Amino acid sequence: MSERRLSESGFPIKGVYTEADLPGDLDSRLGAPGEFPYTRGVYPTMYTSRPWTMRQYAGFGTAIESNARYHQLLRAGTMGLSVAFDLPTQMGYDSDDPIAHGEVGKVGVAIDSIEDMRLLFAGIPLDKVSTSMTINAPGSVLLLLYQLVAEENGVPGSALNGTIQNDILKEYIARGTYIFPPKPSLRLVADTFGYCRSEIPKWNTISISGYHMAEAGASPVQEIAFTLANGIEYVRAAIAAGLAVDDFAPRLSFFFVARTTVLEEVAKFRAARRIWARLMRDEFGAKNPKSMMLRFHTQTAGVQLTAQQPEVNLVRVAVQGLGAVLGGTQSLHTNSFDEAIALPTEKAARLALRTQQVLAYETDLTATVDPFAGSYVVEAMTSEIEAAADALMARVFEHGSAVDAIEAGFQKREIEQSAYQVAQEIDSGERVVVGLNRFAIDDEEPYEPLRVDPAIEAAQAERLAKLRAERDGAAVDRALAELRTTAAGTGNVLHPMKAALRERATVGEVCGALREVWGRYRPTDRF
């Protein structure tokens, strides 16, 4: 056993907890399931009436290959799709752009135009599945392509369910796939809120993400404090754009990690719900209960997976998934055991889904709501995390706003310090990683990872050349000119953006038109 007795967030974990560790106002801190402050879950019945959405993240190579994987997952019983895009798509570049060389199809699927989006979702009933798209700076572009393909198949926007990540602020903090400076980026987010309210009303317009900050090294307290601070920034931006809080807040969603430290993770999720409910009611005056509900997707912790003895990751993922379910997640992606090596194989992806199905159908986790309510240790941890997160959020807002803190490098520095401490603990052996710094074996069994065909890049370039030759170039130019005009003014850019995409403008061309007006963001920029 490790001698560590500190939580991931740095507070001591006692060997024994008693009633004396419970907060004196526990009843008001808890509430009932489905009622303010939503500590016990956002719905009264939680999983007793239906399990969480089992959503498996997938996407690689070409749209045709990814479409085949989606059909496999749906046949295996997944309830929602989650799309991974390649790096050029995430950065708003076409596959034939010189800057995209060597990255096409590598970490996700390459989507350059409406033609790729048609192939990606061929044969999939878009009015029956829920689709999550992990895309940020060009999130609105990919959402509009999805809507256009749905409309071609007779599915109106009012019937579409899903989420775009669309969380640009965490990109400046921890990930780096930003395009524009923060101010126009926040405008694009607010424009998406307004557009979806009328055009795609059941769509979750943003997934405010702590996951990537956690993968970069953030502690549980840092994860929820910085995520909720970003959430406040988005709410303020939407209100400044003229939207009423109850008109958009019910469609906000969140995205967190689930680590192997189950008790602290459960407490983290419960604390996050409580903080958000209080903020929305007391700071922003929300009246609609749905505006106060922190609904979230969870992904198991990729950063905790090891390339050494990769089968051990099956155990890690099961434990992480358990924590997410006990914490009350609305949907869950379980990582494949081979993701520390390469993109998941079909068998590994199926095993990851089977992990969720065992949790849902072979355990008693779905028999009762919030089974840890009243637990001495979990309630004490929940209150500790809540207090620490509140204090850290106050430090963010000492800079003025979350964006001001980002400009000052505050969140990034805090996360880097946490990551450095974890790395030191692993190197010293103080933090045990099974198969890496303890219980290692001399001879690893060979493993054949999934490999992406490098010929994909040339094939995508050929498809783009054909598209540009066959489309009405003058119509595309007119549509892009209208997009630039709107971007330079105050109108909602999603309407001219959709018109350009309908004319078969590419993702790179649409993002390029916005770059011409809004510029690019560089970390040294001031705004």
Nearest of 175, 176, 276, 274 to residue 227 by alpha carbon: 276
- How do residues 76-117 score in pLDDT, each as one tens digit? 888 788 899 999 999 999 999 999 999 999 889 999 999 999
Token digits for 76?
Answer: 């295996």
Q: How far is CA 162 from the centre of its chain?
A: 12
Question: What's the pLDDT score for residue 527?
Answer: 41
Question: What's the pLDDT score for residue 351?
Answer: 95
Instruction: Give the torsion sign (CA, 405, 411, 417, 420).
Output: negative
Under the banding of pLDDT at 50, 70 and 90, the label for residue 6 is very high
Question: What's the pLDDT score for residue 173?
Answer: 95
Alpha carbons 482 and 499: distance in angstroms, whole number: 9
Which of 14-23, 52-61, 426-435, 442-451 comes out lowest in average pLDDT? 442-451
Question: What's the pLDDT score for residue 4?
Answer: 54
Question: What's the pLDDT score for residue 449?
Answer: 67
For the chain, state the CA radius of gyration: 23
Instruction: Indicate if the pLDDT at residue 129 is higher than 90.
Output: yes
* Mean pLDDT confidence for 336-353: 89
Question: What's the pLDDT score for residue 344?
Answer: 83
Question: What's the pLDDT score for residue 526?
Answer: 44
| Percentage of the chain exceeding pLDDT 90 | 88
- The verdict on residue 414 lying in a domain is yes
Question: What's the pLDDT score for residue 450?
Answer: 64
DSSP H or E segment with residue 258? strand 252-258
Domain count, the chain: 1
Element counts in the chain: helices (H) and strands (E): 21, 9
- The verdict on residue 262 lying in a domain is yes
- The verdict on residue 363 lying in a domain is no
- The verdict on residue 320 lying in a domain is yes
- The verdict on residue 43 lying in a domain is no
Mean pLDDT score of the chain? 94
Q: How many CB atoms lie within 10 A of CB 197?
A: 16
Alpha carbons 56 and 352: distance in angstroms, whole number: 8
- The verdict on residue 304 lying in a domain is yes
Nearest of 208, 178, 267 to residue 520 by alpha carbon: 178
- How do residues 409-455 score in pLDDT, each as one tens digit? 999 999 999 999 999 999 999 999 999 999 999 877 776 666 667 78
* Mean pLDDT confidence for 362-387: 97
Question: What's the pLDDT score for residue 1?
Answer: 43
Token digits for 450?
Answer: 């999934």
- The verdict on residue 268 lying in a domain is yes
224: left (phi over 0), alpha (psi -120 to 50) or beta: alpha
Alpha carbons 292 and 280: distance in angstroms, whole number: 5
Under 8 Å between Cβ of 258 and 301: yes
Under the banding of pLDDT at 50, 70 and 90, the label for residue 522 is confident
Q: Which residue has the tokens 């959503």?
A: 55
Q: Which residue has the tokens 């989006």?
A: 117
Question: What's the pLDDT score for residue 73?
Answer: 87
Question: What's the pLDDT score for residue 57?
Answer: 72
What's 332's domain CATH number?
A: 3.20.20.240
Q: What is the pTM of this model?
A: 0.91
Question: What's the pLDDT score for residue 138?
Answer: 97
Question: What's the pLDDT score for residue 141?
Answer: 98
Q: What are φ and ψ of residue 168, in 5° steps? A: -80, -30
- The verdict on residue 431 lying in a domain is yes
If one compares 133 and 55, the residue with the highest pLDDT of the two is 133
- How do residues 278-287 score in pLDDT, each as one tens digit? 999 999 999 9
Instruction: Indicate if the pLDDT at residue 15 is higher than 60.
Output: yes
Structural domain boundaries enclosing 405: 165-336+378-440
